[in-house]
Every structure is written in structure tokens, then in C-alpha cells.
Amino acid sequence: MLLKTFGWSFAVTAAGLALAGVLWGWKGLAIVAILSILEISLSFDNAVINAGILRKMNAFWQKMFLTVGILIAVFGMRLVFPVVIVAITAKVSPYEAVNLAINDKDQYEHLVTGAHPAIAAFGGMFLLMIFLDFIFEEREIKWLAWLERPLARLGKLDTLSIVVALGVLLVAATTVATDAAHGGGDKTATVLLAGIFGLITYLIVGGISGYFEEQLEEDEDGDEESEESGAGERTPAAKGGSSVVGLAGKAAFGLFLYLEVIDASFSLDGVVGAFAITNDIFEMALGLGIGAMYIRSLTVFLVRKGTLDEYVYLEHGAHYAIGALAAILLITIKYEIHEVITGLIGVVLIGASYLSSVRRNRREDANGGGDSPSRSEVPSGV
């Protein structure tokens, strides 16, 4: 199971480190290895969130996540994205941006870090919406029950998460953005525009995936009702000429799109933070790409092992880590926060949720709860 899931990651690691050693010597090999570890430490919560979405997909889409998805993650976010950012912010052609990345690495690094306020605002708002929609939703299983119960009651107001997110963006634009550390000067307008774009992106992508999921659930409910009635009537989907399989494919595509945008948002801080280690885009893409491969393999491993079903508070911990990362991204518009701190916050929150899950399972087993419905109704209260 372990080798089957992580086999490609091991192979990519070996090939990547060997290539780094050949191209850049021992120094390059060490930089690529450090970047890989950095990416894994910063993105463990990403794997948990991804697993919660990926487990809704079939084996085909899980393979798509590991193949097409990794190409998007490595070449799209780690190689192409920084070049596009430089082209937009410096108002140069993509060719000139690539030329800067290869021949004038210091200027390239300066331009990318100068774009940090926009990157942080976009990613921060997108991740904040994920956290808010989770924390405001009524859930049968609660980790921090004393906090989650009242927030779930408030969440009955449909647009509350959007209102809170816009309020946070307004505060960030009028405080940390007025004297940004990266790029210098007043970045209020930049932060507002990028943040609103991040919010709109979340609403569009999340809306598409949510729509397909709802359509799939309605179609499956219709099939169940038809089977129970025994009347042999065709379901609405069948009458319309579509099938459950086709509808599932659309739903999976919507979720896949949502998954890729989430993954991209998670990678923003890693891409910018990597410049503290190297300003070579190829070393960066190789190191972060190896780390991204492990995160994807870990995501599939969690799905196949049913880890989220067994340790039910892991998703809670990961979403709290997302909320913390969103706040950190917005704060870093003005203040420097070391990547180690960012990574440790996520590890601590997920570790705490894992330990809470273990204690809950032991308590339920001791009470003879087993897999009974009551097992999912007892909050930890940790």
C-alpha cells in the first residue's frame, strides 16, 4: 500500500536530486532537498483538505489528480506563475520575464517579492473563505464544540462568510497594506483588488463544484426512489438523455477544478518563501515540485486508508490551519513571518486534532460505541 501510493514520489525524488546534483553540484542538491522539505512542512494541512475532497471522486479522478494535477502544480504554480506575476507587475512580455528569471535573477526576485501584497491578498482571501464556510456550517461532528456551536448558529445567515471576509479585507487594506514591507509604499488599492479577485474566484469555482455535487445527489436520490417504488419509471436524468455516470463525471470535474485552485492557493506562500533560499526558478520548481508530489501522494494515501473517517477531527484541524495561514498571508503584507512558524502552526493544529480523534475513538470503544451512530455525535470539547 505504502509503496504503491508513494512509489512515484520516491522515484521523482531520486531522479530530481540526481538531476540537481548533475546540474548544480552538491550546493544545488542541498537547496532542492531543503525546498522539498519546506514544501511538505508548509502543506501537510493541504493534504488533509485535499483528501476530504478527493475521497468523493472515483479512481480515475484520483489518478488525474496525481498526473495532470501534479503537472499543473509543478509547472503551473512553481514555474509559470512567478513568471506571469513578473510580466504583469513589471508590465513586460512573458519572454522578457523569462529572460529576467534566467539572466537577471536578482531583479527577477525583486519583482516577485514586490508582487507579494497582491499574491498574499488573493491567496489569503481564498483560504479565508474556505475556513469561514467550514466554521459557519452546522456539523454533526464538532471538535471545539464551545466555539463551533455558536458559530454554526450564526452561519444560518447565508452571506455571513462573505461579509466577514470583506470586513477582514477592508481591515487589511487600511492597516498592513498602507505600508507594505514588499514593494514599499501604499498598497491599499492593490490589496483590495487582489483580495476581491480571490473572493470572486472562490465563489465561482466553489459554486461550480457545489452545483455539480448537488445535481449528482439529486440524481442519485431519484434513482433510489425509482428503485423503491418498483414502478420502473425513468429518472429525470434518464429522461433528459444523461446518466448518473455522465453527471458524476461533471461533478468530479467541478471538484477537480476546485481542488486545483485550493492547491494553488496553498502554494502561494511556499513560492514566495522559496526566494529566501534561492532565486533560481529551476531549482525552485524542482524542489517545490518534489514536495508537491509527496503532498499529492499523501492525499491519496489518506483517502485509500480511510484516515479521515477514522480520525474525524483531522478535517477540523486542517481547516483551522487554513484559517491561520490566511491570517498569516495577510499579515505578511507588512510584517515578515518565518516559514518555520507558518509550518509549525499547521503541524500543531493537525497534531492536536489527531490526538483528540484518538482519545475520542478510545473513549467510544471503551463505552462499547463501536461504529454506532452515537459515536459521531459525541463532541470532544477539547
Q: Where is 272: in which H helix or E strand? A: helix 244-273
Cα–chain-centroid distance for residue 362? 30
At 241 the pLDDT is 39
- 181's CB contacts (< 8 A; 6+ apart) are 116, 332, 333, 334, 335, 336
At 226 the pLDDT is 54
At 233 the pLDDT is 47
Secondary structure of 196-244 in HEC code, one letter for each residue = HHHHHHHHHHHHHHHHHHHHHHHHHHHHHHHHHHCCCCCCHHHHCCCCH
What does pTM read for this prediction?
0.77
What's the burial of 146, exposed, middle or buried (CB within 10 Å: 0-12/13-18/19+)? exposed
At 249 the pLDDT is 60
At 379 the pLDDT is 42
Output the DSSP codes for 54-98: HTTS-HHHHHHHHTHHHHIIIIIIIIIHHHHHHHHHTT--HHHHH
At 212 the pLDDT is 65
Q: What is the pLDDT along the chain (382 residues), one digit of tens a residue?
A: 677 778 878 888 899 899 999 988 888 889 888 888 878 777 777 788 888 888 877 778 777 877 788 778 777 777 787 788 778 777 788 888 888 888 888 888 888 888 888 888 988 898 899 899 889 988 888 898 889 999 988 888 888 999 999 999 999 999 988 887 766 678 899 899 999 998 998 888 777 776 766 665 665 555 555 555 555 444 444 343 333 333 346 667 777 887 888 777 777 767 766 776 787 888 888 888 888 888 888 888 888 888 888 888 988 998 998 899 899 989 988 888 877 788 788 889 989 999 999 999 898 888 875 444 444 433 444 3
